[in-house]
Amino acid sequence: MKAVRFAAAGVAGMAELETPKVRSGHALVRVRSAGLCHTDIEVLHGRYGEGAFPLIPGHEYAGTVEAVAEGVTSVQPGDRVAVDPNIPCGHCAACRKGLTNLCATLKAYGVTENGGFAEYSLVKVGHLHAIGDLDFATAALAEPLACVLNGLGAAGVEASRPASALVFGAGPIGLLMALSLKAKGVAEVGVADISEPRLAFAEALGLTPFVSGSEQLAARAKSFDFVADATGVAKVVEGMVGFTADGGTALIFGVCAPDARIAVAPFEIFRRQIRLAGSYSLNRNIPQALEILSHDDGTMSRLVSHQLPLAEMLPFFSRHSGDPATMKVQFSAEA
Ligand SMILES: [Zn+2]
Ligand SMILES: [Zn+2]
């Protein structure tokens, strides 16, 4: 089978590999759509995961079950499925608390085990979720959406019912978060970015655009019940508190550099009763993401900007596309 393979740190290429043989408790999935995410680039450079090279990357994928191991009854050939990539140990302190995303020895398809940028992927059957009649490109958004939902859960969004929200970063994940807030009934959802074309796209999706650093945005200081960062820029994170309304919540969702630091006034957090939240990855909530995608009117799937054959994915691992029209880039078996 054809696959994208990370041979060693920083070395990505195409490979012709043997199709995996079905092992006990596993199913062979024919990958139909697989999304590229910034994490894949971190994995390539050995900055994320264990540097388990060689590796087939890709942790956001959906496809059809091709074959199952003997005795497997939960799925059968032909089933349309999305993959939950996280493989928690199940018995460490975090796992026992139900925080499987914080497992002390967390493994994941596409990070420590071969993932979805291949024609086929061998996956434990417990990691497969039925997608109904969702198209594969949309179903491959279930993993990033599940990360967003885990973030909104960690921030207590459901219980606090914000009337207004602001998301920094109009990339695919920021927009997915903004659209999720809309789907949860938040009346006003703003998106802030420095890219005018990205803001125009956000507006076309029904979101309120704000140019970062503009007077229009400055005028909205302390006015959003919920503020999230999806840029991973520490300076942006530092500024979030200033836009958070009294009693509101700020969520650190974007991935900042591990050595980055911010300065915030503890007095302000205290006096204005602000909640600072963080969130990481997804926590067994692919079904909830699929549920939201199944009710989406097609707006979320507009975040998929590229559907490419495997070989055409390669350039996206080595350079950051400066093109603001590049949103979610996916491998598509149909492309
Ligand atoms: Zn990802
Ligand atoms: Zn664990």
Ligand 1 centroid to Cα of residue 282, in Å, is: 10
Q: Residue 301 is part of which domain span?
A: 2-145+282-332
The reported pLDDT for the residue numbered 320 is 67
Residues of the chain predicted below pLDDT 50 = none
Tally DSSP H helices, then E strands, for the chain: 12, 17
Confidence at residue 193, expressed as pLDDT on a 0 to 100 scale: 98
- Distance from residue 107's CA to the centre of ligand 2 (Å): 9
Please give the distance, rounded to the nearest whole angstrom, from the Cα atom of residue 284 to the centre of ligand 2: 13
**Which residues make Cβ contacts (< 8 Å) with residue 64, sequence separation at least 6?**
29, 30, 32, 77, 78, 79, 80, 81
Beta strands in 70-135 (DSSP E): 80-83, 86-87, 107-108, 120-124, 128-130
Residue 91 covered by a domain: yes
What is the Å distance from ligand 1's center to 194 Cα? 23
What contacts 298, CB < 8 A, 6 or more positions away? none
Is 251 among the domain residues?
A: yes
Q: How far is the CA of 15 from the centre of ligand 2 (A)?
A: 32
Question: So what's the pLDDT on residue 322?
Answer: 73
Last residue of a domain, one of 237, 261, 278: 278
Q: Are 273 and 301 in contact (CB under 8 A)?
A: no
293 domain-assigned? yes
Same domain for 273 and 292, yes or no, is no
Is 176 within a domain?
Answer: yes
Asked if residue 151 belongs to a domain, the reply is no
- For residue 86, the CA-to-ligand 2 centroid distance in Å is 11
Position 191 in a domain: yes
Output the CA 331–ligand 1 centroid distance in Å: 14
203 and 103 belong to one structural domain: no
* Residues 239 and 178 reside in one and the same domain: yes
Is 198 found in the same domain as 164? yes
Strand order in the sheet with 224-229: 208-211, 188-193, 164-168, 224-229, 244-252, 275-278
46 part of a folded domain = yes
Instruction: Note whether 88 and 129 are same-domain residues.
Output: yes
Return the ligand number nearest the Cα of 93: 2
Same-domain pairing of 6 and 138? yes
Q: β-strand 60-68 against 80-83: which pairing, if any? A: antiparallel
Q: The domain that contains 40 carries what CATH number?
A: 3.90.180.10
**One domain for residues 31 and 104:** yes
For 270-291, what is each residue's pLDDT tens digit?
999 999 999 999 999 999 999 9
Q: Which ligand is nearest to the CA of 106?
A: 2
Compute the distance from residue 102 Cα to the ligand 2 centre, in Å. Answer: 7
Asked whether residue 117 falls in the same domain as residue 225, the answer is no
Distance 97 CA to ligand 1 centre (A): 24
- DSSP H or E run through 127: none
Residues 11 and 140 both lie in one domain: yes
User: Degrees (nearest 5) of the Cα angle 255, 174, 314?
Assistant: 70
**Tally of domains within the chain:** 2
Neighbours of ion ligand 1 (CB under 5 A): 37, 39
Rounded CA separation 235/152 (Å): 22
The greatest distance separating any two alpha carbons of the chain, rounded to the nearest whole angstrom, comes to: 63
Residue 150 falls inside a structural domain: no
| 231 and 170 fall within a common domain | yes
Q: What is the Å distance from ligand 1's center to 60 Cα?
A: 6
Q: Which of 278, 303, 321 is the last residue of a domain?
A: 278
CB 9 within 8 A of CB 44: yes
* Nearest ligand (C-alpha, residue 115): 1
CA of 103, nearest ligand number: 2
Are 190 and 74 found together in one domain? no
- Going from the Cα of 128 to the center of ligand 1, the distance in angstroms, rounded, reads 17
Angstrom distance (rounded) from CA 81 to CA 152: 24
Q: Check which CATH number belongs to the domain holding 183 and give it.
A: 3.40.50.720
Q: What's the pTM?
A: 0.97
Residue 41, phi then psi, degrees to nearest 5: -70, -35
Does 317 share its domain with 231?
no
Angstrom distance (rounded) from CA 299 to CA 291: 15
Q: How many angstroms is it from 108 CA to the middle of ligand 2?
A: 12
**CA distance linking residue 288 with residue 240, whole number of Å:** 28
Instruction: State residue 323 phi and psi, 5-degree precision.
Output: -75, 115
How far does the centroid of ligand 1 lie from the alpha carbon of residue 172, in Å?
Answer: 11
Tokens representing residue 222 in the block: 């302390």
